[in-house]
Structure 1
Amino acid sequence: MGSRAAHLSIAVALCFWLPAMAAVMHFWWSQARGVLQFDGQAWTLNRVVPPTSVPLTLSAPPEVLLDLQAHLWVRILLVGHPPLWLWLERSSQPERWMDLRRAVYSRARSGADNADETARQAAPGREY
């Protein structure tokens, strides 16, 4: 009787686990693929899957959800689109990885011509 109960519980677990794994795989493989770019003023996404001919503009800088040093999971807001979650990997462009990390974490103010002036505005009352 114990063996039969064990087999039944394994079958029930598989009935839940297999569809859950199928849903995860479908979600993973249907994620947007492309190149995230920052020109110093604005962020854009050039999508590869599904392909687009025009870069899509982000309405805000990417929001880092998880930082694993060699991987970043970010949430982006495209103008006129629902939020997207992107998994960024150092292995796709290792020579540009640190540039990307600096850009994602920087919070430069738009229109600021001088880094010293931006720093003063960010911390009023401090002496430099």
Structure 2
Amino acid sequence: SKVHMAFVVDEYGAFEGVVTATDLLEMIAGDFNESHDETETAVRKRNDGTWAVDGQIDLDELGEILGEDFGEHEGFHTVAGLVLHHLSRVPNEGDILQLGRFEVEVIDMDDRRIDKLLFRPVIHTHADDAA
């Protein structure tokens, strides 16, 4: 897609930076919240109560949506990174692991990259507690 931009120079002709049309509009109208749209497509609640999740979503964003604290981790910030950390290997489609109160299934791989995950809430019963 084409992006219109202008080079900014100072009074001495020295290059100062680049300005896009979006930059100008944000200066007039304020910041545009584009991340909301991205998050809606990255995490989608399905009719059966499960969540289809993009592997590249930020852990903090996902935690806010699902009401789950995935903890602080060094070296990664995405849910795909968390899955790789727990499995200690590149997963295969169909691999399942437990993350918090969710059973997580790898449902789509893009070569060696985790593309899509399915988060299934685990329902604990009192019988489970007694076992």
User: Do both proteins adopt the same fold according to a TM-score greater than 0.5, normalized to the shorter chain?
Assistant: no
- Normalised to the residue count of structure 1, the TM-score between the two structures is 0.27
- Name the one with the larger strand percent: 2
Structure possessing the higher radius of gyration over alpha carbons? 1
- Normalised to the residue count of structure 2, the TM-score between the two structures is 0.27
